[in-house]
Structure 1
Amino acid sequence: MADYRKAFRAEPGGKINLGKHDPSFTGKHDSEESAKKELAAYGDELFKQQGLLYAEHKRSVLVVLQGLDAAGKDGTIKHCFTVLNPQGVSVVGFKQPTAEELAHDFLWRIHPHAPGKGYISIFNRSHYEDVLVTRVHKLIDKATWTERYKRIRDFEALLAENGTTVLKFFLHISPEEQLARFAQRLDDPKRNWKISESDYSERALWDKYIEAFEDAIAATSVEDAPWYVIPSDHKWFRNLAVSQIMANTMEDLKLAYPKPTVDLDDIRRKYHAAEAEEKPGKKKG
């Protein structure tokens, strides 16, 4: 079975050329049907690992989803993470900063949403918007986005030191697939609300966004917070790859249920043995 962590990881310290990553890759699978059983198995494993994470209450997981418009961030959340218990997971979408957020440093709005021990947080867009959109639209200069790469590395290192496993996914689609998805949004009444004219003006900046993503991924993919470039033209394969990487990474954490804080035999003697001998309300004699 292919290890998608090895296949799609952006190696720390290396350059990245997204043009050499095939967004239509599906590996050994030629259809959604052929991947269905494998995907279900990863979902079961994710559910199991989340239960251990929540019970152990020592570590946490942060998932960062980035990609161009229509890359499938919402779909990934829907299809990969609905298997999780809602009590232990939060999803945060980062849109254009508010006036209050702009009055602070760019990480100010991010840190409060980092996962606490036992929890999984999923970022739909993230702190990376501040080295992507701001760069493409020339709101910051090269010195600023380069400095922000360092701040991001430091921030994610702090999370890792506190027991947070950081996984970052770039959902890689082709311009042709993006345009096809825009057309679907136009034609499907249930998706009309997702389309806007700005989608097309942003699309015109495709090459600039790709360059910004390449630089950001290369500068911030490190051992404790790696980036994975996920082929995402085929939604079902995107879901398969993300689910496998998540499940295998959490399994490698060797999570375990904590030991009980009470004497179980004593509890059994006090309450269950007595219950067997005499039920509550039963009269003596």
Structure 2
Amino acid sequence: MGILKKITGFFINVFVLAWDFGLFIINILTPSLKPGHVVPAHAAGHHLTWPEYVPPKGDDSRSACPMLNALANHGILPHDGKNISFKELNTAVRQTFNFAPSFCFFVPKFSADFLNRSYWTGRFDLAELSLHNAIEHDASLTRQDAALVPDQGKPDLKLVDDLLKEATAKMPDGSPLLTIPDLSRALSKRRKDARKTNQAYSENLFHNIFGSSNSSTMLTIFGGRITDLTPMLTEERFSEQWEPRVLSRFGLTMAKFNGTVLPVEWGAKSKTAEH
């Protein structure tokens, strides 16, 4: 059964990558969505109006991912963050953040696999996604390492503040804007600090790429805008009249996303090497 599962997984991954590349090409050939019309008409957040934000309470389950926590805090996913289906997660992420369907299948499927559950029938609590060194990893830009702070459901406000202060660019209205070099520099600093403070620190290429990927959503989905990132990273809520900054008709594909992720990771490694 193990061999069959591996073979099946291989062909699923090949299909998803082909599907993703096809959507990447289609996005190039089709007109973009108009600002103000990115979230579908039948979904929460359409016309830039989001459901009420309610902070987590009591035993509500939250993950190491601010964006997923925001979905629960706004009631787009169950507010208690529990008993969520992987297919439900797929739909909520796709409609809310305008990730491509291929992307929204791949990540929940990966999550189901590392939790040893079925993507098609399985369910999970948000906190379970913080399984160490699966998607959650050391040297996060918004969380202390799990060895130091086991509960990954809340942001570390000092780390978030350090990150937001890295922004060097400006929007036309003068508000700060995070760039690829800014994010690379922040990742490099965070990794160096984590190595010093966490005796159980672990790092490999997979985790670094995942770290750069998680961080790069700030540049793609949020456009690097500090005014939008501040409430998302500190309170895990959407700013008023927010919408995804990706206007591609079929959403942000993995192929397109890599155009941000790889320069961010390369820059982080380069800055580490300089020291």
- TM-score norm. by structure 1 comes to 0.24
Give the structure-2-normalised TM-score.
0.24
Higher relative contact order (CA 8 A, sep 6+): 1
Higher Cα radius of gyration: 1
Higher strand share: 1
